[in-house]
A and B are shown apart, each in its own frame.
Chain A
């Protein structure tokens, strides 16, 4: 018996397509190296799990859980991230591309601007490595919440990750150095509201079956 092996999903755009917000160099390293490493380590952990299951080795099985959480989370989070970004100055960048979600955001935060401000504050308050998410609680069209997950912790079911922003330093450092706020501000120019609307109304489930 062997375990399923995961492969790196291709980006839905070219490496330089998010410029000037995110440089080609960052995108190449982030996708080809960082994301790939999570996948390699996830595959190794699953393979070790198969051997440990065959040997009934409970200690090893338990100790593998943290590796699966970290590297599996890294694979899920990055896969979601690539798809909720889009080249700047496209129709998908405009929140009007997400009518249902827009209404829910305004109901929850009062205005689009107030939501952006609250989201930015959460992102900039993150201590260490992690992600900022807009989450639909309990399933599609649920109550909206801004959620921070640490390291590579994913958003857990049944909550739906509407969109995520990678706040690891590797996501911005080559271009923004310690200017986290500059990166956070730029993210809104490449956010894919079409994808966000789809996840909010129909879920991210198919995306999570990687």
Chain B
């Protein structure tokens, strides 16, 4: 699992800032105890034609960044409430932390489980993960159909994930509303953003075309590492 805290995160830990959960939190970065927007490992235009450069830029620089900023604001308020021993205020902040913290986690995982074709995007999984997919779904194509059906069935904003059940080690497909993160019993392996902002500029209401095109830029190497 590539959930290693980097240097700045360790600094953040020493300075008493809250640690991020290790669950699937690949590559989360911090500066002076604050969550920061992670860099993409590819250019904004590198996922074309599946996802346009304009979508990627807005999605990363504006949407993801807003989640980061709002999460940091909520955490600051939480620390104030903790310092004052104000339990009601701490509880009232829960939805904001879930939503903005979830948005930050989800997008961080999403960028990493995508890759340009030139960097292996779309190359099907191999090894143990490939076996698990075959055993569970009867084949890679069948898995993709099930995942696409789950994505198309989301009513409103949300995400579909391939997850690993921590209790049984088995994989499964789960959908989550809004920015609810994959925490608790399940570990996130592969996430696909089904919010309209993830595809609307390019696909408008034809979301099924987006769900079909995104398979060309899935980074299965990352998913395999998360599964291992």
A-to-B contact residues, CB < 8 Å: 29, 33-34, 37, 66, 70, 127-130, 150-152, 168-170, 173-174, 177-178
Contact = CB atoms under 8 A, between A and B. Distances in A.
A178 B197 contact: yes
A34 B156 contact: no
A173 B201 contact: yes
Contact of B63 (A34, A70, A168, A178): A178
B196 to A, nearest CB: 4
Interface of B: 58, 62-63, 66, 95, 99, 155-158, 177-179, 195-197, 200-201, 204-205
Contacts, number: 52
Given A33-B205, A127-B95, A170 B178 contact: no
Contact of A169 (B158, B178, B197): B197
A149 to B, nearest CB: 11
A127 B179 contact: yes
A128 B156 contact: yes
Nearest to B204: A29
Contacts of B179: 127-128
B205 A178 contact: no
Given A34-B205, A128-B177, A173 B200 contact: yes
8 contacts: A33-B205, A66-B155, A128-B178, A129-B157, A130-B156, A151-B156, A169-B197, A178-B197
B174 to A, nearest CB: 17
A127 B98 CA distance: 10
A33 B197 contact: no
A29 B205 contact: yes
B205 to A, nearest CB: 4
B34 to A, nearest CB: 21
Contacts of A178: 58, 62-63, 66, 197
B200 A174 contact: yes
Nearest to B200: A173
Contacts of B58: 177-178
Given A129-B157, A178-B58, A168 B196 contact: yes
With most chain A CB atoms within 10 A of its CB, the pick from B63, B158, B200 is B200
Contacts of B205: 29, 33-34, 37, 170
Given A151-B155, A169-B196, 6 more contacts: A29-B204, A130-B156, A152-B156, A170-B204, A173-B196, A174-B200
A173 B157 CA distance: 14
A170 B158 CA distance: 14
Nearest to B62: A178
A170 B66 CA distance: 19
A173 B58 CA distance: 11
Contacts of A170: 196, 200, 204-205
- Top 8 closest A-B pairs, CB basis? A128-B178, A151-B156, A169-B196, A129-B156, A128-B157, A33-B205, A178-B62, A129-B157
